Chains A and B, each alone.
Chain A
Amino acid sequence: MGKILIVDDSDMFRDELKLALKNGEHEVLEASDGLDGLNKAKESSGIDIIISDFNMPELNGLQMVAMIKELEQYKTTPIFILTTETSPELKQQATTAGVMAWIVKPFVEKKLLMGISKILSMKAS
């Protein structure tokens, strides 16, 4: 299964996400804000997928994604952003930054795992 970095400033939400991903037998790395996420991404290797919240202190989700995407090893890493609301401008920004898809909160565990498996199997092939 995959190694997934989750970035969210809410402990509760992070726990929920972690639990869901662990149910899918994924290895989970946690970061509590955008800056932490960026650092964790820098110091870890073999991360398959990054799932991040959008609204966070320090760096918001999109700013963090843009900076992570500048790192050579994350050029093709799928990144998903959790959100409650999007605007066309934000979507455009996200696409530019390298976000693969939005996950509308609250996530549906079964579907989240299904999508992740799909992406991981695509990556493997």
Chain B
Amino acid sequence: MFSSIKTKLLLLVSSLLFLAISIVSGFLYLSSLKRIENGLGEKALSIARTAAITINGDNHSKLSQNISNAGGMEELATLQKKLRMVKNTNSLQTDVYTYTRAWWVNDTDNIVFVGSSSEETFSVKGQAMEAYMKKALYDGSSGFTEIFKTVNGEWITGYSPIYSSDGNISGVLEVALATSDEVLTARNQFLKNVVISAIVAMILGCIFTYIVATKTTSPIIALGHVTRSMAGGDLNTRAEVSGKDEITSLSKDFNKMAENLEKSYRELEIYNEDLEKMVEARTAEVVASKKKIQKILAHIEQGILTFDKSLRIDDEFSAYLSEFYNVASIDIPGRDVLELVLPESNLTSDQYNQAHETLKAVVGEHAVAWTFNSDHLPTEATIKIAQSEKIIGLEWTPIFDNSEKTERLMLAMKDLTAQRMLEKEVAEKDAKNQELMDKIGELVTIERDRANKFFVDSDPRVKSIEKSSSNHSLDKLFMEIHTLKGGARLLNFKGLIDVAHKLEKDLQDYKEGKIDEELTIKNGAKKVSDKYYEYRRVFKDVLGGSSNVSTSHENTGGFYTLIDKHVFSIKEDLIDKGLELGEISVFDAVVSWKSEVLPLLDDILIHSFSNSIDHGYHRPFLSGSKVSPISLSISAETDKNRVIIKIKDEGSGLDRDKVVKLAAGKNIDCDESSDASVFGCLFHVSFSTADTVSTSSGRGVGLPAIKDMVNKLDGEVSIGNGSPTGTILTIDFPQTKVCNMYGRQSLKKAV
């Protein structure tokens, strides 16, 4: 039933009560002690006084005088008898005695005992005089001392002066009374009182404490219950608020705290809910992006993997790897990266080793090691998988951590086989086209009649060369070759000259016995005839040739063929007009044009070439301006899914003001601020900036016709001025409409 605070209160109250009662008892004790002292003192004084009167002072003085010489025995006996009587009559426990000043010494502060109720005689030696003794001896005062303690108990002394007959003080008589009994009684009473008071204090304390403490602690206990209930999770509970004491304000504060706590808790709950939702959302995002990555890894047409310094492949990698290398997905993680990626590669063992060393020096090391060494990693290799050769491209990307270390490398691997094949094909085609361009170049520089004559003359000669070679008629062969070479020299057919010269030399050597390979001669002769027919074919097919030169048809690189056909056709026209042909450059990124597009391109080129030459060069020339050699550039580029053809000249360009004026005159809408709009007028039917009409241009049908043709293939056409001079005709086709395949080929030829 006692709470801790009750016990403390009890102890405190009891102690206070006990202390109070003890102090009271103490006072009572001390006052009773005083009373006892006074009573006993009075008694001792009365005994001493009575006894002192009965003593003969003169005798006593006499005795006092004789003490030193031991005289006066009779008087002593009388005194002793008297004193003994006093002792006995009063039933004293100690002896009654008298004393006087030690008269024989100057020091008056000493006393000397004179007589005693005991038999013994005193020594003469003095004893220090106490204050009361002095008073009695000098003033003749009588009285009693305070209670004092000796080894034999507690005492109180009464004293009274003895007078001689002459009225002088002869000495003092002292009587001592034992106080022990009375004092003990008083003390016992005191102790009893203390014990009783302690018990009473305890009982009273208990009652008081119980009442007070119960009243005081009950709100605290109640508050304690509320606190515990709150600690148990019930945040709705509140303390009862009543009264005006500290507990009340504590309860109020507590309730306030509880409210705040409840509020915070609710907020926390809401926050937690939000947080959970957020975490869920984030988790979903992460899962989604992981899925996305996994989807990418599952479908990307590239081998993608990562690895750390162990050089072993991590768990995430693209499915393509397994497909490409024909290795089960399960066998890829943990596998050495080079071992998987470069099986039976064209790398030498040293190159392979260097790649391996580089990976070791880079992964897990300082980022600068990547800078130093990454060039040693192979970026392309030819490998063998299941007996077939593949060309792969390798792209290594470092993944740095926060501490400037290359934590991992990512490797992206691509199959470049098809691309390299295509490039090879393009290169071969490029070479072929270059050869063609060379021949055309050679052919267009000569007059058609001369070329025609050469071919008419050489056809039987080449037949003869073929025959002589198979017959082994070397002299005949030599002669024919020599003549052919001479003809080729006249026309400057370098390719043909080269092979003919080589064969000539081989024949010479053969004759002189320097070589004995008949095959060399045969091959040489074949090369000569092949080369000859190539020239002939170009002459016939590409340049139109002559009716008396015939050959089988073989399709060569379409765009170039077209361009050169036109260049050749305009060449003579130009010479007639007094113009000079400068540089024609051709760039064709299309590997294979659709065959149905070629006639269209052909028409476009006819129109645009004659436009360029007429407007850009011929008219200025006619009007007296100095014109530079005609320079034309024709390009077909690919951009995303478009094929863009640009035909540029460096002539005088378009006269913008004139176009604006003409457009106004013909009521054609045009926005003067926009070049595209102004020059767009030129595509209008019957719009021509030329003042006069020429045979091939100036009738206003060129550009509208081109636009018509281009639109048919879903293309767009525009025209504008070049920088610094000239015009640019731009034609933009959807790639799928015009070509089968595209790559890159660029050729330039001065004609």
- Interface residues, chain A, with chain B CB atoms under 8 Å away: 78, 80, 83-86, 88, 91, 100-104, 107-108, 111-112, 114-115, 118-119
Contact = CB atoms under 8 A, between A and B. Distances in A.
A107 B361 CA distance: 13
A103 B357 contact: no
Nearest to B369: A101
A115 B373 CA distance: 10
A91 B375 contact: no
B271 interface: no
Interface in B360-387: 360-361, 365-366, 368-369, 371-376
B372 A107 contact: yes
Contacts of A104: 354, 357-358, 361, 372-373, 376
Nearest to B355: A104
A106 B376 CA distance: 9
Contacts of B369: 101-103, 115
B375 A86 contact: no
A103 B373 contact: yes
Contacts of A112: 372
Contact of A108 (B353, B361, B375): B375
Nearest to B356: A85
Contacts of A119: 368
What is the predominant secondary structure among interface residues of chain B facing chain A?
A: helix
Interface of B: 353-354, 357-358, 360-361, 365-366, 368-369, 371-376
Contacts, number: 58
B304 to A, nearest CB: 25
B371 A102 contact: no
Contacts of A114: 371
A91 B371 contact: no
Nearest to A85: B357
Contact of B361 (A78, A103, A115, A118): A103
Contacts of B354: 104
Contacts of B365: 91, 101-102
Describe A's contact surface by its main secondary structure: mixed
Contacts of B361: 83, 86, 101-104
Contacts of B368: 78, 80, 100-101, 115, 118-119
Contacts of B376: 104, 108
B375 to A, nearest CB: 4
B374 A101 contact: no
B470 to A, nearest CB: 56
B357 A115 contact: no
Nearest to B359: A104
29 contacts: A78-B368, A80-B368, A80-B372, A83-B361, A84-B357, A85-B357, A86-B357, A88-B360, A91-B360, A100-B368, A101-B361, A101-B365, A101-B366, A101-B368, A102-B365, A102-B369, A103-B372, A103-B373, A104-B354, A104-B358, A104-B372, A104-B373, A104-B376, A107-B372, A108-B376, A111-B375, A114-B371, A115-B372, A119-B368
Given A80-B372, A104-B372, A108-B372, 13 more contacts: A83-B357, A91-B360, A101-B369, A101-B372, A102-B365, A103-B361, A103-B372, A103-B373, A104-B373, A108-B373, A108-B376, A115-B369, A118-B368
Contacts of B374: 111
A119 B404 CA distance: 11
Contacts of A111: 371-375
Contacts of A108: 372-373, 375-376
A124 B303 CA distance: 40
Contacts of B360: 86, 88, 91, 102
A41 B357 CA distance: 29
A80 B373 CA distance: 12
Nearest to A82: B372
Contact of B373 (A91, A100, A102): A102
Contacts of A91: 360, 365
